[in-house]
């Protein structure tokens, strides 16, 4: 996420801060009747190479450390499958397969890990109609099954970059929150605005500034967290 002098310890603290605010907002959305979507969180970026997968993975691991929360990380960047490759998981069926085939129960595709409270769902192979499948009524039904009977589970999606694929714009309509990762001193302001416009289907968009360096008299933590709701 960031590269301060403090290394991993400072990074852990930063994700704790981000996690806490996201979980508090998840609870608020649930109290307001947000339903299953309140438990869904998408992590994306405007362009590739801005650290979205690393942020999604670290955020999911941080949530898994909660005593009363579990997390399911969905590797939904279908073309790259970066989460699967980072974790060393084999290829296999995933969420897109459940969207396409009504005989598949998506819950059967969830993979356990050796980390308590942390599970993974592969994205599956891309199709010629990814966004159409995601925009269908079946998609919401499939996603609802991931938290059925599990009010303590948070589902985190790692998606393709917003300005490179149509999946994030469609998924934004059926998640409770979006985290848009912005690479410090790199991501153009225009790209951030364009990405937020495409993600407008979700009323709750957070900005996470990645790769911030400390100044001697600057902030204690290098992350930026902004909320638009």
Q: Is the confidence at residue 24, as pLDDT, over 70?
A: yes
Confidence of residue 185 (pLDDT cuts 50, 70, 90): confident
Q: What percentage of residues in the chain have a pLDDT greater than 90?
A: 83
Return the HEC string of the chain: CCCCCCCHHHHHHHHHHHHHHHHHHHHHHHHCCCHHHHHEEEEEECCCCCCHHHHHHHHHHHHHCCCCCEEEEEECCCCCCHHHHHHCCCCCCCHHHHHHCCCCCHHHHCEECCCCCEEEEECCCCCCCHHHHHHCHHHHHHHHHCCCCCCCEEEEEECCCCCCCCHHHHHHHHCCEEEEEEECCCCCHHHHHHHHHHCCCCCCEEEEEECCCCCCCCCCCCCCEEEEC
Confidence of residue 223 (pLDDT cuts 50, 70, 90): very low
Instruction: Give the up-direction half-sphere exposure of residue 23: CA atoms within 13 A in the CB hemisphere.
Output: 22
Please tell me the total count of domains within the chain: 1
Confidence of residue 220 (pLDDT cuts 50, 70, 90): very low
Q: Give the model confidence (pLDDT) of 77-107 as tens digits.
A: 999 999 999 999 999 999 999 999 999 999 9
The answer to whether residue 211 sits within a structural domain is yes
How far the first Cα of the chain sits from its last, in Å, is 24
The answer to whether residue 116 sits within a structural domain is yes
The answer to whether residue 26 sits within a structural domain is yes
The answer to whether residue 3 sits within a structural domain is no
The answer to whether residue 96 sits within a structural domain is yes
Domain carrying residue 150: 8-228
CATH number, domain of 124, equals 3.40.50.300
The answer to whether residue 47 sits within a structural domain is yes
Least confident of 4-18, 107-121, 184-198: 4-18
Q: Give the model confidence (pLDDT) of 121-143 as tens digits.
A: 999 999 999 999 999 999 999 99
- Whether this prediction's pTM lies above 0.95 is answered by no
Query: pLDDT value at position 8?
Result: 53
Query: pLDDT value at position 2?
Result: 34
Q: Is the confidence at residue 176, as pLDDT, over 60?
A: yes
């Amino acid at each position: 996420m960031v590269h301060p002098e403090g290394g991993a310890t400072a990074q852990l603290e930063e994700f704790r801060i981000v996690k806490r605010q996201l979980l508090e907002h998840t609870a608020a959305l649930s109290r307001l009747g947000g339903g299953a979507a309140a438990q869904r969180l998408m992590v994306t970026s405007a362009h590739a190479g801005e650290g979205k997968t690393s942020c999604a993975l670290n955020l999911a691991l941080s949530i898994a450390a909660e005593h009363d929360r579990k997390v399911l990380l969905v590797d939904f960047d279908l073309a790259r499958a970066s989460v699967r490759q980072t974790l060393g998981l084999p290829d296999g069926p995933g969420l897109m397969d459940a969207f396409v085939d009504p005989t598949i129960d998506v819950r059967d595709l969830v993979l356990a890990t050796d980390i308590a409270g942390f599970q993974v769902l592969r994205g599956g192979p891309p199709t010629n109609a990814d966004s159409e499948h995601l925009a269908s009524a079946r998609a919401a039904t499939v996603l609802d099954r991931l938290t059925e009977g599990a009010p303590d589970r948070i589902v985190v999606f790692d998606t393709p970059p917003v300005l490179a694929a149509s999946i994030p714009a469609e998924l934004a309509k059926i998640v409770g929150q979006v985290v848009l990762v912005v690479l410090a001193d790199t991501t153009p302001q225009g790209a951030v605005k364009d990405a937020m416009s495409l993600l407008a289907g979700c009323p709750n968009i957070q900005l996470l500034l990645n790769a911030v360096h400390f100044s001697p008299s600057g902030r204690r933590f290098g992350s930026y967290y902004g909320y638009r709701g």
